[in-house]
Amino acid sequence: MGDTVETREKQRVQSLNNIQKSTLGFKEKLSYGFGDLGNGMMFDMGQIYLMMFFTDILGISAFYGGLVFLVAKIFDAFVDTGVGTIVDSRTNIGPKGKFRPFILYGTVPLAILTVLSFTAPNFSDTGKVIWAFATYLMFNAAYSVVNIPYGSLSAAMTMNADDRTQLSVFRNLGSQSALFIAGIVVVPMVSQFDNHAIGYPVVVAGMAILGVIFHLVCYKGVKERHVIERPKEKGVNKKAFFNLVKNEAFAVLAIFTLLTIMSMFLVQSTQLYYFKYVLDKPNLVGLVSTLNFIVLLPALFATTFISKKLGKKYTALIGIAGFVIFEVLNFLFFGENYVMFLVMNTIAQFFLVIPNTVVWAFIADVVEYGQWKFRLRSEGITYSSYSFTRKVSQALAGFVPGLALTFIGYQPNVDQSAGTIFGLKVLFFAVPAVACTIAFIIFFIWYPLTDKRHKQIVKELALREEI
């Protein structure tokens, strides 16, 4: 009996050591990053260009354009939870894995709907609004089918803290690369067409095809190592949702994300207006995207370095603080000076890369925290609920500009008044800075998970034989 207990304890310790080892090679990390590159090839089209496409090409008002974003994103947030529930409820998982099949089978429908969102049929004004709603609703639903399993995938690939940070680094590298490509390619290529109503769907189709290819690379290149099937009990999904509500680490991360992601996408969705009407440089998005991409690799290295020294929590806080400082400097002093704006904005984006990188490692940690606290592992529901928060923040980032543009007196394709110019400055600089300041305070005081505490939680889960 004693020998059996001793043997079992040795097996537990060995299992823990195996779990905590760094197991991911460069190729697998890169393949995972290609997944978000594929996401961005389609998602970024809508986030960056669709608002202006609605107002200037399709011909609907800024208010209705903003309303499309608001309704679609809120609708999509609920779709996310449904997809997460389906993912977590899977049984009889085959060789393709628990999460990877969604990437494989969802990528082509997503690409098709991306292109449809950028078509401008010759409908009545009401018909155009309905078309905008319908296509963007379907696009976001398709995106959920791919993105929720993709995001959940990292928790199944590894439980090693350094590996998770590296997966976040490669994921953000993919995401930022997509932003860079979208920023420097789309506008110049669309401009080659005399009719932009034709140019947009053609160019977006090319980007979507690339997105499909990158998704397939991700599917082929990653491996699921920690796949746990749900117990077949009645009401287990309901229990998982209630557990998540009581998970304070998730709650704080959700609020942090709501504020920071809203800020990031608010900058993206208003930059075209700011460049065109304040700086009088409508094609500046290409240069800004290039500069943001140049600082990407240094920012990712900085993220890795700081995280190893201080842990993920304080790494994120340093990034947010830096972003706020340089946004305030641009708002107060440099926002209308072309050269100084570029300098300050580039430094601000350098700092913003840092929290947007480590946030993906946070959500994987929250999965184990919830499992440790409530004895039920829910990658899909946790990530989909987290995605719900991101979608709400994106909805606000889409709706607020539409509402604000109307409020400050914006009129398409004319010189703007002094009041409108100032309103664009507030929207572009001040609102993101204030939101991120609030996020900093909340995260610093109330987020409970450090790398040290997460490591201890994984140890306890291994000893309980739950992983």
Calculate mean pLDDT across residues 170-199: 87
The string of pLDDT tens digits covering residues 287-325 is 888 898 889 889 989 998 998 889 889 999 999 999 999
In angstroms, what CA-CA distances link 334 with 177, 263, 278, 442? 27, 19, 12, 29
The string of pLDDT tens digits covering residues 391-411 is 777 777 767 777 788 888 887
Alpha-carbon distance 163 to 467, whole Å? Answer: 17
* The residue type at 4: T
What's the pLDDT score for residue 456?
Answer: 86
* Residue 331: Cβ within 10 Å count: 18
Task: Give the dihedral sign, CA 292/298/300/305.
Answer: negative
Q: For residue 133, give both structure tokens.
A: 């709603």
Alpha-carbon distance 157 to 155, whole Å? Answer: 6
Task: Give the dihedral sign, CA 274/396/40/49.
Answer: negative
- The domains of the chain, with CATH numbers, are 24-463 (1.20.1250.20)
Model pTM score: 0.72
In 3-state terms, what secondary structure has residue 426?
helix
Determine contact, residues 373/56, Cβ cutoff 8 Å. Answer: no
Q: Residue 347 pLDDT more than 70? A: yes
- Tokens 């913003």 belong to residue: 352
State the chain's mean pLDDT as an integer. Answer: 85
Which of the listed ranges 100-109, 157-166, 357-366, 450-459 does the model predict with the highest average pLDDT? 100-109
The widest CA-to-CA distance across the chain, in whole angstroms, is 85
- Cα 158 to its chain centre, rounded Å, is 20
- Tokens 């100032």 belong to residue: 422
In angstroms, what CA-CA distances link 70 with 140, 303, 392, 395? 12, 32, 8, 4
